[in-house]
Amino acid sequence: MLRILVASSKGGCGKTTIATNLAAYFALDGKNTVLVDTDRQASSQRWCEKRVGSTAPVLPIAGTRNGWSARIPQDAERVVIDAPAGIRASELTDLLDDVQALLIPVLPSRIDMEASEAFLGEVAGLSKVKRGKVAVGLVANRLKPWTTAAQQSVDEMKQLPFPLVGQLRDTQGYVLMTGLGKSIFDYNSEVIRSHQEDWEKMIRWLKKAA
């Protein structure tokens, strides 16, 4: 069972978008997939509920109450955990139990990167991370790759203490699909396929972490 935690100390960075799209990818790949929503806003849980009846459903589990881990079915093959918004590194300890990979989305702005630097430093000091028990990867989110500013931000992110494992471009498509209980992987148009390619590096990295 591969468990992936998506977390950030910064609100509005696209954490839930990454969690839901990853869950959809695994479900569409034929894996029994669970999405644990530990955020009180319950956005991931509502997204799962909208997928009920689809050919690739994702089982939602409310993670705001104690004992949620015991409710994960034994036959689950992929578990994606959507962390609470604005979480502190010290609060990650319990969520990292049995987790193989931690994804941290970062927005391409100086303010966001500066806000993330202290958090990343604290994450690097967590016991399971230091011992190599959890692989940590950064995801550059909401990029405008055709701009010089975006490329400069990506170059700066590569200097942060964890590898940059994904670069996702900015598009309203994610917002629209999330509202429908869909994902970037539920469609196959030419435009959508170009966005799907943004995820390939991240998915390869996750497979190595399994």
Neighbouring-strand partners of residue 169: 143
pTM of model > 0.85: yes
Write down the architecture of domain 2-209 according to CATH: 3-Layer(aba) Sandwich (3.40)
Neighbouring-strand partners of residue 135: 101
Using DSSP's 3-state secondary structure scheme, residue 70 falls into helix
Q: pLDDT tens digits for the chain (210 residues)? A: 899 999 998 777 889 999 999 999 999 999 999 999 998 888 999 999 998 888 999 999 998 888 888 899 999 999 999 998 888 888 888 888 889 999 999 988 778 888 888 899 999 999 999 998 999 999 998 888 778 777 888 888 888 889 999 999 888 878 888 888 899 998 887 777 888 888 999 999 998 887
The identity of residue 30, as a single letter, is: G
Are the C-beta atoms of 94 and 67 separated by less than 8 Å? Answer: no
